[in-house]
Amino acid sequence: MSETESRPAKDIKTISSRVVYENPWLLVREDEIERADGSPGIYSVVDKGNYAVVVPFENDGFWLVEQYRYPVGKRSWEFPMGTYPGRRTVDPLELAQRELLEETGLRAERWELLGELYCVPGFSSQGGHVYLATGLVPGEFAREPEEQDMRLAWFARADLEKMMRDGTIRDAQTIACYGFFLLHGK
């Protein structure tokens, strides 16, 4: 380890902050900062409430949802996930249970925290919790208006891995959460 690597880095100092845009789901701010070497700069930050991702697992396969993702202009297969409006920070397990039921109509008898992650820490404060849901019981959907086009399907583990390899699944959260699943020896 070099001398630079062994010394703790100084934090970036926030000089000022202003809200650039805000809606019920996110707030965009621009911060004037001072770097560790004293040089000035700016950071644009997207503040969002916490999110939860659910890995619904049964019969050596997974339940995924597919929906149209407006920012990328494509449909996307993903593990169920979401946030509360108003950038609320809530109990992550409660949020995971809500998202699973809302998007898939499934309830889980067993929940296991697989890990925590940041969505895109280069420009967003949003953090998330990843849960494994097992003992799945079917029920009724409770989808939000923007989720009305959502499809639900079960995929064998081998098919999920193929979809990741061939680019069918490009959602970073889904891919990372599958990594958590594997790290837990599942």
pLDDT per position in the chain (186 positions), as tens? 444 454 455 689 999 999 999 998 889 999 999 999 999 999 999 999 899 999 999 999 999 999 999 889 999 999 999 988 777 777 999 999 999 999 999 999 999 999 999 989 888 989 999 999 999 999 888 777 777 789 999 999 999 999 999 999 999 999 999 999 999 987
pLDDT at 40 (0 to 100): 96
User: What whole-number distance in Å separates Cα of residue 20 and Cα of residue 9?
Assistant: 29
pLDDT at 1 (0 to 100): 44
Phi, psi of 145 (to 5 degrees): -55, -40
Token digits of residue 89: 């920070």
User: What whole-number distance in Å separates Cα of residue 154 and Cα of residue 156?
Assistant: 7
User: What 3-state class would DSSP assign to 45?
Assistant: strand
pLDDT at 87 (0 to 100): 73
pLDDT at 9 (0 to 100): 54
Q: What is the pTM of this model?
A: 0.87
Q: Which residues does residue 58 pair with via DSSP β-bridges, in sequence order?
A: 61
User: What whole-number distance in Å separates Cα of residue 9 and Cα of residue 178?
Assistant: 32
